[in-house]
Amino acid sequence: NTEILLLQETLVRSKTDLDNSLFSSNFNIFAKTAKKINQLGRQSGGLAFVVKKNVKVISHRFINERIGILRLHRISIINVYLPYFDRTKEQQLEYELNIHLLEEVIDSEKKNHQEIILAGDFNTDLIRFDKNSFCLRKFLKKSKMNLLDLLFSQNIDYTYKKTGKSGNIKSWIDNVASTDENQLIKSNNIIEDISNKSDHNPILFIPNPKHLGIDENFKTKLPKKIENVRINWNKLEERLRYQERVKNQVKTLQSKVSSLLNADKLKAQLYITELLNELTSLLIDCTR
């Protein structure tokens, strides 16, 4: 019965990629595509709101690829994906800039008499003593945001897990905060599920329905068949035509294969990542 999904680091290059990955016609997707920082390797970041069609969306906008706002009946939901702390001056300035943008967004929404839910990947653990954690604590206090993770009991105390040489590294870098600790949110829980293949645990928070503006007359529709895939895999002639399209398109990747053969180990890893991304897109595009 999920009404809204907040996604961070989607890595998608276009909204079409998100549309094709969602096998339901009962949701609207509002997305900011990932940003290509380097020529090699995959794109970085990306935000999305996946909203059930019975939720009345007043407006949505993205400040950048790290901050998005979804305005509902009486709530503005802010989706965030802040930069990772890599100890460089440039990254620290980027973190502080996005915190400043968040302050401006929250002030603007408050002036429009909206309650606020702030959620996402803040990429720093509040118990740490690095500059980003200090910056985040200062921001939450200044903006009078209540950290809901601490107001509700949790079965686990981490949202991110990474396996390293010294074992599992765990941290609490994903959070939910709001301007009203009593009325907006009915529950807020970190979910641990063995079927989840991500290195992040999702957080399930349930807002008070009266703030969402639910359309009670909305009727759930059955998932539609994906229309842009037109191949009948049971027919030999269609499989052969698909094979020919792939063969022609693969020729465009030959230069990258040549570069891979002459690359050192580090560059080879980057070339392989880029090659796999492009090959995946190519195989999908050839079905249309």
| Residue range 14-53, pLDDT digits in tens | 777 777 666 667 888 999 988 766 655 556 678 999 999 8
Q: Is the dihedral of CA 60, 13, 177, 212 positive or negative?
A: positive
Distance CA 8, CA 174 (A): 10
- Percent of the chain scoring above 70 in pLDDT: 81
pLDDT the model gives residue 222: 47
pLDDT the model gives residue 223: 46
pLDDT the model gives residue 81: 95
pLDDT the model gives residue 10: 84
Which CATH number is 4-212's, of 1.20.120.1230, 3.30.230.10, 3.40.50.2000, 3.60.10.10? 3.60.10.10
Name the DSSP class of 220. P
SS3 label, residue 238: helix
Distance CA 286, CA 231 (A): 10
Could you tell me if residue 9 is left (phi over 0), alpha (psi between -120 and 50 degrees) or otherwise beta? left
- In sequence order, which residues have a C-beta less than 8 Å from that of residue 27 and are 6 or more positions away? 50, 51, 52, 53
| The pair of three-digit structure tokens given for residue 100, joined into one six-digit string | 């400043």
pLDDT the model gives residue 120: 96
pLDDT the model gives residue 226: 43
pLDDT the model gives residue 11: 78
Q: Give me the residue label for tokens 């049971």.
A: 234
Distance CA 237, CA 127 (A): 61
Do 26 and 50 touch, CB atoms closer than 8 A?
no
pTM of the predicted structure, to 2 decimals: 0.72
Count of residues in the chain: 288
Name the stretches of the chain with pLDDT < 50.
Answer: 222-227
Q: Give me the residue label for tokens 């019965």.
A: 1
